[in-house]
Chains A and B, each alone.
Chain A
Amino acid sequence: MAYLVQPDYVKYVCSCGQMKPITNLYFCRHCLKIRCGFCICHEVDSHYCANCLENMPSSEARLKKNRCSSCFDCPSCFHTLSTRATMVQPRQDPASGDAKVENKQPKKMYYLSCFNCRWTSRDVGIPDQPVASGGWPERVNPFANRFAQLMEYYKAIAQQEKQEKLDKERKKFAIRGNYITLTDKTGLTGAMARNRAGMPSSESTSSAIANFVLSQATEEVEELPDDYHSREVNLKMITTMPQRLASPEWQAQQVSRLQPIARPLSVKRSQRCRQCDHNLTKPEYNPGSIKFKIELLAFYHVPEVKIISYETIKPGVTSALLLKLTNPTAHEMQIQLIQPNEVPEIEEKEEPKNIEKSLEKSLNLEKDMSWKSVVERKPTLPSAIKVNNPELTFTLAQRDDAAEYDDDSHHDTNDIILWRKSNKLALRLQLTADENAKVGLPAVAVVALQYTYRNTVPPTSTQPRDHTLYTTVTIDLGIVSQ
């Protein structure tokens, strides 16, 4: 709970250099590294409507423009609209004078209503519907035609460019090796590329480009009405910018032209380590479930650091800091505090290139590692506050949900270890702030943990089970005071 409602006092340094609280981090059990949302690959697993929990395959979602067909949002305040029922006495039809008795049955009619701002579909003159869901009149985008033309045109251009690139690549490989000719002859590459992009075959592309009509700018613009500047504005009658932008196709200017907005779909996404392509999280398919099939969160694998209390940081003064460490894993953990600059640099090793790799490249499938140079950076860690680490390796017991009920009998408490309780312990550390630390600036202490980790992934013969891992933590201690 503290992680949800409080500022992030303790941040971990991700392997990409970002600093995030432990609850926002993942832990790849295959690379044994901390990952974060910034340096992993996000993939859409399934589309679903968060209101009615209906899920649909991505092709159907694309067809429906990623919107639910039965749920609507309020065009006025964007809250979800609810369907309300009313009993309506059907109007007497003068043409059929005889049928009186049967028609007098009150009929149930439905309209949409917002519980937040009390907007209703009747406000804009949408007729009530005889069925509870669906059947609401759909508005056609006035520029639908032009839109389709543009789509076709740009798809064709994308297709053309892809083709050109492919041709170039093929020429290059034709010189290097001959295994590529196999795929080349079958025409596999081109077809695959087209398939993947969801594009039509190459014949239609050239015609689509040729037939496209460019937009023409015109100097003649319709005159503004005479009373445009003098007319009194009734703010209740015109829409706000957010209301207009919520439906970009129509951008209704009058409140009376607002239409229910089909509810945008949400996605379930799985996340993947970019380095080793293993899943870090994978949600259950059922949209009603909030559980995960795979959930490699740092919170379950990396020792958790929390601040118990600290003394105010003053320049040149040594003060005390009480920390709580928790071992979340099911195995005993040896932890030692070290200085951040003692953390050894580990290069992520490149896998050796082999024939398969170059084949992958020819198919444009090879893993693109260029993201690394863009995403990764060295974090700048503040150094004004030095943590006087105790020369001590301490052992943290495994997590044991039953331990709560035990009486802890052995206590090896001393000057440094304040107390111990099952998989947790409290540490008393000494901090020395730099003489030159500027008063009023944030006081941030940096401490690195060296800890043992037992990997429970089914071991391959080459991999050891026990590892020594490192993580760097920044601790927010308020501001430097006088």
Chain B
Amino acid sequence: MSHNIKILPGATVCEDCTLEGDITIGGGTVIHPRVTIIAEGGPIIIAEYCIIEEYSTIIHKKSDKQESPPKALFIGAHNVFEVGCRLESIFGHIGENNIFECRSFVGVDVRIGSGCVVGAACCLTAQQVLVDNTVIWGSEHHIREALEKQPSQLLQLDFLSKVMPNYHRLRKPNVHKRQPSRQSTEPAK
């Protein structure tokens, strides 16, 4: 697998994590140690201001109906992946402001909008679409709809990007001066 990891300026990416394949990490995003991101079925693009906590796994799985060139998995801004969560979605797009709580699991057949919360230890395997502001919680996977998006984690992000460099080895940003970072991915379609 070719490794092509692009880290944009302003991103905080710990060295002690597994990044495989074609991955782009947007500015302001914080990736904790022990995170696994594997782009085997196509590139993964993580937008700005995401938090990806320890032991979480994001996999862009190889599917049978692989398009060529492979479609990218685009993860929107302000998503939070809490400790130990796992995302295997193959759908091209994950919205913004979602929270994947601790040890949650999102399988390949799940489409996720914006402002959704997948509760701690909730396991979504069946084919489904989470419309915007869906909240799933509890062992019985109760579903409710929140009125507004979850509050942003900007304060936490600010704190993390200040503190992390003091305690962890970081990967250096390797993409410079690419001003309209979003646009460069768009014409590929």
Interface stretch of the complex, out of A112-120, A270-278, A415-423: A112-120
CA distance A388 to B148 in the complex (A): 72
CA distance A117 to B143 in the complex (A): 9
Interface size class of B (residues with CB under 8 A): 10 to 19
Q: A117-B119, A118-B117, A118-B150 are in contact. Are A255 and B144 (CB under 8 A)?
A: yes
B91 interface residue per 8 A CB criterion? no
Contact B144 A117 (CB under 8 A): yes
Q: A122's contact among B117, B135, B138, B147, by CB below 8 Å, is which? A: B147
Contact B143 A236 (CB under 8 A): yes
Contact B146 A118 (CB under 8 A): yes
A18 interface residue per 8 A CB criterion? no
CA distance A117 to B139 in the complex (A): 12
Contact residues in A for B137 (Cβ distance below 8 Å): 77, 116-118
Q: Which of B134, B138, B144 has the most CB of A within 10 A?
A: B144
Contact B142 A122 (CB under 8 A): no
Q: A117's contact among B142, B147, B148, B150, by CB below 8 Å, is which? A: B142
Q: Chain B 134-164, CB within 8 Å of chain A: the 1/0 string? A: 1101100011111110110000000000000
Nearest-Cβ distance from residue B131 to partner chain A, whole angstroms: 9
CA distance A127 to B187 in the complex (A): 45
CA distance A429 to B143 in the complex (A): 57
A76 interface residue per 8 A CB criterion? yes
Nearest-Cβ distance from residue B132 to partner chain A, whole angstroms: 12
Q: Which of B119, B134, B137 has the most CB of A within 10 A?
A: B137
Contact A236 B144 (CB under 8 A): yes
Nearest-Cβ distance from residue A304 to partner chain B, whole angstroms: 36
Contact B146 A123 (CB under 8 A): yes
Contact residues in A for B134 (Cβ distance below 8 Å): 236
Contact A76 B138 (CB under 8 A): no
Q: Which of A76, A118, A123 has the most CB of B within 10 A?
A: A118
Q: B135's contact among A86, A117, A235, A240, by CB below 8 Å, is which? A: A117
Contact residues in A for B146 (Cβ distance below 8 Å): 118-120, 123
Known interface pairs A117-B142, A118-B146, A122-B147; 15 further A-B residue pairs with C-beta atoms within 8 A, sorted by A's residue number? A77-B137, A77-B142, A116-B119, A117-B119, A117-B144, A118-B117, A118-B137, A118-B150, A120-B147, A122-B148, A123-B146, A123-B148, A236-B134, A236-B144, A255-B144
B residues whose Cβ falls under 8 Å from a Cβ of A: 117, 119, 134-135, 137-138, 142-148, 150-151
